[in-house]
Amino acid sequence: AMKFLVNRDAVQPGLQAAKVKVPLPNRLSGDRDAVEVENWIADLDHYFKLTNLREEDQLEFAVTLFGPKAKMWWRRLQADESSDVPLNWRELQEAVKMAFVPVGSYKAARNKLANLRQTGSVATYVEEFDELRMVIGNVEEPEALDKFVRGLKQEVQLHLATTDPATVKEATRLALAYDEARSNHESRPRWTRRSG
């Protein structure tokens, strides 16, 4: 059995690494789901960074986190002599995306993002926006900021116009603060003076 050891000296030479137990990432189910695939890849990248897992061990470790459908795919891939079996983590990421991200999901996500509108809270809108942006993967900041602001309710857009945020992160913070302040103001009890 292959052992995966954390390279504690790679953290900072001369300093002892903190003894933090890093939780294992979730398994990749093997369902055709772009969000699950993107999250799984991001979780493993983060895990590898935190544990300093050697690059040559990353592919083998990632394969241990395949659920039943993904394991079956991997076994078929290895058995097929005509296929290009991934040799490292980066190649595995691409192969997993090809196998488990539905064809057209990036285009569908772009279409959803183009038509996304805030209908409830800013927080819910932000979650939907971030998920779509993650699936698409390569939305440049100016385009993302424009799409984010245009999808907000008009009153939130007007508030942001007075602050002129430069990034989606800044616009998100300002929109959430505005929405929270508005909600707090609307939920305050109205006091009426009793006549006596």
What confidence tens digit (pLDDT) does each residue in 80-120 have?
988 899 999 999 999 999 999 998 988 999 999 999 999 99
pLDDT at 140 over 50: yes
Minimal CA–CA distance to 7: which of 47, 45, 54, 40?
Answer: 54
pLDDT band at 191, cuts 50/70/90?
Answer: low
Q: How high is the pLDDT of residue 159?
A: 94
Q: Distance (Å, rounded) from C-alpha 135 to C-alpha 142? A: 18
Torsion angle (degrees, nearest 10) of CA 84, 90, 93, 98 = -40
What confidence tens digit (pLDDT) does each residue in 25-78 have?
999 999 999 989 999 999 999 999 999 999 999 999 999 999 999 999 999 999
Minimal CA–CA distance to 136: which of 117, 116, 112?
Answer: 112
Q: How high is the pLDDT of residue 18?
A: 58
How large a percentage of the chain has pLDDT more than 90? 73
Q: What DSSP string runs through the chain?
A: -------GGGTSTTSPPP--PPPPPPPB---S-HHHHHHHHHHHHHHHHHHT--HHHHHHHHHTTB-HHHHHHHHHHHH-TTS----SHHHHHHHHHHHHSPTTHHHHHHHHHHH----S-HHHHHHHHHHHHHHH----HHHHHHHHHHHS-HHHHHHHHHH--SSHHHHHHHHHHHHHHHHHHHHSPPP-PPP-
Q: How high is the pLDDT of residue 189?
A: 61
**Domain range annotation of the chain:** 25-100, 105-186
Average pLDDT over residues 149-175: 96
Q: What's the pTM? A: 0.67
Q: How high is the pLDDT of residue 83?
A: 83
